[in-house]
Structure 1
Amino acid sequence: MNFVLILSGLVLLIILWLVIDFRLGRRKHLSAASKMETNILHGSFEIFTHGKELFHDYFQEIREAKRHIHVLFYIVKDDAISQEFFTLLKEKAREGVEVRLLLDRLGSWKVKRAAVTALKEAGAQFAFSNRIKLPFLFYSAQVRNHRKISIIDGKIGYLGGYNIGKEYIDEDSSLSPWRDYHLKITGESVNSLQSEFLIDWNEYAGENLQDHHVYFPEPALKGAVRHQFLPTEAGQLEKNFIRLIQKAEHSIMIGTPYFIPSAAIFTELQEARRRGVSITIIVPFTADHLLVQEASFRYLRQLLKMGAAVYQYKNGFYHAKTIVIDDNICDIGTANFDQRSLFLNKEINCYIYDPDFIGRLKDIIEKDILDSEQLTLAALNKPNTLRTTKETIARAIAYFL
């Protein structure tokens, strides 16, 4: 009996510590986070939807870099493509090109100390972002730097959903082919991506380089695509998504690997449906994480009742992150449509206001819908004890999925 009482007391103390740690950590994070978004910018855009094509282009631009290569990723694995990536960076550093690499500490946990040492010995500069640290160990373990941006010579930028690992180039049989959206950007807005990288570099590497004009060259061409970047953290993304949804007059299209909206966002989606806005959602048929699919079902079930269309992508794994509002605005970035991206992660999204680009994106989405199976309310309501159990568990921990 004494043992049970002691064990129960320890469990309660741990739970109390986790709650206090998380609440105080979040309060500190909220007080420190500053709202940032760029003005309307102009640039030129390419969109990649296949990893092999993206990384062929990306690695070639790295090979041709003359002055500096600045890279921030959430995940870099320890596999063949990751080693090729590190080899390229080391080669460029030995050539005298400035290389700075910033990786999320937990997302890139497979990166070995030897690989970091080799990068530094070659002359590259390296830092981990978002380390787990005191005094809020649990909260800091939850807040990840989920941004994926690269800037090459201050002239070319990349932003989107791809990380570096074999699954992203269709070499993981369980998740192949991998479907994602990633932007290649040229024009004046590359300077804004550069600035965002340097803000994160200063925070985690302790080096302030914002006043170094060499990183901000005058763009050769301005570009025609109107857009802006919105870096977010600590709950800022929720308000951005709500504003997007409120702008919709005719249609909302959402592509996401994880559909776990906040209560406020879900209310806005329901309100949009009530005023006659069509809602189309694309999610994966096959999940890559435990319980994320079950966490989405309670939201999808209600939207289906209201006449929304939901498609489960079946030609591999769907990891794209996009929102299209009417034919006026599209959002492509690093943020998922889930509560982790909304409230915990550092993210960066690009809002694009160009009709031609939005038309191209909608063509891509329509192709993805053709590679999907429409989810029905009857399928979700069919009795399934295991699924119901998973939904119950997922609902309790949806914030952290």
Structure 2
Amino acid sequence: MLATVIILIVILIVAWFAIDLGVGKKELMQKERTFPMRQASLKLFTDGTKFYNDLFKSIEQAKHSIHISFYIVKNDEVSKKFVDLLCEKANQQVDVRLLVDRIGSIKLNRKMRKHLLACGVKFSFSRRLKFPYLFYTINARNHRKMTIIDQSIGYIGGFNIGQEYLGLDPTLGTWKDYHLKVTGEAVNDLQTQFLRDWSSSMNDEEQHEEVIDRQIKDPSMQIVQFRSTEGVSLEDHFLHIINEAKNELCIGTPYFIPTESLMAAILKARKRGVTVYILIPMRADHPLVRDAAFSYLPALVEAGCQIHQFYYGFYHGKVMIADERICDVGTANFDKRSLFLNGEINCFIFDPVFIKHVKETFHTCLHDCPLLSLSDIKKRTWFDKFKQGVATFISPLL
């Protein structure tokens, strides 16, 4: 009798999880958006100190509005400097809004939040737990990192706010990332996405504030397109880039956990003669994610893909480049969480000159990173292989 009750409870829990995930995802997938082709002037940051200096200077010079969305804001000296700067601008009557992920920014304590609100900063958590989709909403994080200043300057990429992004975490060491500074008409779309996320966090999804559509035409600017995803179409976007490659494909990611379709596309690219470079970190900043990658790496190495491991510190860049035809820099990792759960936003770039610049930074980093061989993979211990098996099983949630 007891065994029957236990079995029924397990069946109900599994059924609830399945319905929770399915229906919750269906509700969010309708919010995905591909913005139009836009003109923009771009600047690439790969160093945290240079990025923060530029970002903080733009915030200091803001006249009307500062709208910021980060996955992580911590409770350290860097984060306190950031919070104090936002408070200073709010005291100057600038419209300051800070949106952070509830799970990612769990270290942003109540004292700092009260300080922000007391200064006049509008603050909100995104992706709060929502009944009845508890399991889905605790897993489907808002992973977007966007800043929009006066609707004229935008930032998007992999950096968050914390001391490790400056290379000050002794465990992780030097931090390598990719973040774009955007000016021009494309900033309209970052503003639109922020306001959609802000309205959603306020449970006011029917009311969206107006974004002034500033048309700025300049033949010297790059052509870009922002693609905002909610765990549905990102795989198709990645497949498009891989399939576009004729000579060279570059993939940089901190977490390499591809789908069968993405693996097949990469292997197919190798068969048609494409040189494939994949750059991943040697260290791990989260349990098991590095182990999960080793379920896919042997087949890629055997096919002739060049897998390099960043060993100076931690590699957190999210970049894909197909020849000099298309380049993607954004917030999405090459893993199943970004593909099927998280809210992400990526910038697709179609300017050959800027793509060449991004590729040069990628290869400069690649040059000093050791190449992974089959013998390296075979040397992994039985415990490493055990963790790999566990990681592969739970890879959609890593």
- How would you bin the TM-score normalised by the shorter chain? over 0.9
> Residue type matched to 2:68 in 1?
V
Q: Give how far 1:382 is off.
A: 3.0
**Per the alignment, in what secondary structure is the counterpart of residue 159 of structure 2?**
coil
1:37 aligns to 2:37 (yes or no): no
Q: Give how far 1:37 is off.
A: 1.5
1:312 aligns to 2:303 (yes or no): no
| Preserved CA contact (<8 Å) 1:155 1:219 | no
Q: Give how far 1:149 is off.
A: 0.4
| Percentage of identical aligned residues | 42
Q: Give how far 1:26 is off.
A: 2.7
**Per the alignment, in what secondary structure is the counterpart of residue 335 of structure 1?**
coil
Question: 1:128 matched to which residue of 2?
Answer: 125
1:331 aligns to 2:328 (yes or no): yes
| Preserved CA contact (<8 Å) 2:188 2:211 | no
- In structure 2, the CA distance between the partners of 1:211 and 1:20, relative to structure 1 (3 Å rule), is closer
| Preserved CA contact (<8 Å) 2:39 2:217 | no
1:23 aligns to 2:22 (yes or no): yes
Question: 1:164 matched to which residue of 2?
Answer: 161
> Residue type matched to 1:110 in 2?
K
| Preserved CA contact (<8 Å) 2:39 2:216 | no
Q: Give how far 1:155 is off.
A: 1.0
- In structure 2, the CA distance between the partners of 1:212 and 1:299, relative to structure 1 (3 Å rule), is closer
In the comparison of the two structures, how many residue pairs are matched? 396
CA distance in 2, matches of 1:190, 1:212: 10
Deviations 1:255-306 (A, max 9, x none): 0000101111111111111111111100001111111111111211111111
| Preserved CA contact (<8 Å) 2:39 2:218 | no
Question: 1:256 matched to which residue of 2?
Answer: 253
| Preserved CA contact (<8 Å) 2:231 2:338 | no
After TM superposition, the structure 1 = structure 2 runs for residues 51-200 of structure 1, keeping only pairs within 5 Å, are 51-200=48-197
Identify which of 358, 370, 376 aligns with 1:379. 376
Q: Give how far 1:45 is off.
A: 1.1
Deviations 1:96-119 (A, max 9, x none): 111011111111111122322222
What TM-score does the superposition give when structure 1 sets the normalisation length? Answer: 0.94
Identify which of 381, 389, 392 aligns with 1:392. 389
Deviations 1:21-67 (A, max 9, x none): 2233234334xx24422222111111111111110111111011111
Deviations 1:84-136 (A, max 9, x none): 11111111001011101111111111112232222222112111110111101
> Residue type matched to 2:23 in 1?
L
- In structure 2, the CA distance between the partners of 1:381 and 1:86, relative to structure 1 (3 Å rule), is same
Q: Give how far 1:326 is off.
A: 0.9
CA distance in 1, matches of 2:360, 2:319: 13
**Per the alignment, in what secondary structure is the counterpart of residue 173 of structure 1?**
coil
Query: Which sections of structure 2, spanning at least 5 residues, go unmatched?
Result: none
After superposing the two structures, state which structure 1 stretch, 250-259 or 360-369, moved more. Answer: 360-369
CA distance in 1, matches of 2:385, 2:324: 38
CA distance in 1, matches of 2:208, 2:24: 28
